[in-house]
Amino acid sequence: MVSVLLMVALQATPAVPVVSATACPVWKRELSFADSVRRHDAAAFAEHLDPDAVFSVTGKSPLHGRANIGEQWAGLVSGKAGRLDWYPDHVVAASSGDIAWSSGPALFEVADGKGGITVMLSRFSSVWRKNADGEWRVVFDSGSNPVKAGAEQVKAFEAQRARSCGAD
């Protein structure tokens, strides 16, 4: 069921989503967060995490705290455990302007143990909080189980990437 929903979501017509002016900074922050992993920048990755962050919130062993998350994600951030890329396709902010939710597709590329690469897609969901310093940081993060993806799904993932939140 998840794979069918994921495939349908990735085959939708590309469009620049329009989000509220309150949510647009979170959209940009989500892109910056993903960019920290693409650049293999552990310090920038950590800067996107709230000190009280919890990752894998729907999993059996959620990761608590910035340092622990950074340690557990070190292989992905460095690129040694594979390639991870993602982007938001939906962001909603509370009218209070200090909490928001983001979601979108994520692409994983990992070694298959046979000299090749396995490509998988999933969806992430994150809750962001605007900290006292005015910066948005991830508080909660989780994702669906990844499913194998073919060339068409990867092409759709790339085609759907909107670099703007539409409120710019």
* Domains of the chain with CATH codes: 2-9+18-160 (3.10.450.50)
The reported pLDDT for the residue numbered 148 is 96
Task: Indicate yes or no: pTM above 0.85.
Answer: yes
Query: For the chain, how many residues are written?
Result: 168
Please tell me the predicted confidence (pLDDT) of residue 15.
56
Distance CA 44, CA 37 (A): 8
Give the Cα separation of 124 and 140 in Å (integer): 11
* Cα–Cα–Cα angle for 43, 47, 52, rounded to 5 degrees: 125
Residue 3's SS3 state is helix
- Please list the pLDDT of the chain residue by residue as tens digits (168 residues): 444 444 444 444 445 567 889 999 999 999 999 999 999 999 999 999 999 999 999 989 999 999 999 999 999 999 999 999 999 999 999 999 999 999 999 999 998 889 899 999 999 999 999 999 999 999 999 999 999 999 999 999 999 887 788 765
Residue 167's pLDDT is 61
Q: What is the DSSP string of 101-136?
A: EEEEEEEEEEE-SSSSEEEEEEEEEEEEEE-TTS-E
pLDDT at 143: 94
Tell me, what's the pLDDT at 13?
43
Structure tokens at 53: 């962050």
**What Rg, from alpha-carbon coordinates, does the chain have?**
16
- For the record, the structure tokens of 154 come out as 């990867």
Q: CA-to-CA distance for 165 and 168, rounded, in angstroms?
A: 7
Q: Are 30 and 87 in contact (CB under 8 A)?
A: yes
Per-residue model confidence (pLDDT) at position 16:
59
155: which 2 tokens?
A: 């092409």
Report the pLDDT value the prediction gives residue 35, as an integer from 0 to 100.
Answer: 97
Residue 133 burial (10 A CB sphere; 0-12, 13-18, 19+): exposed
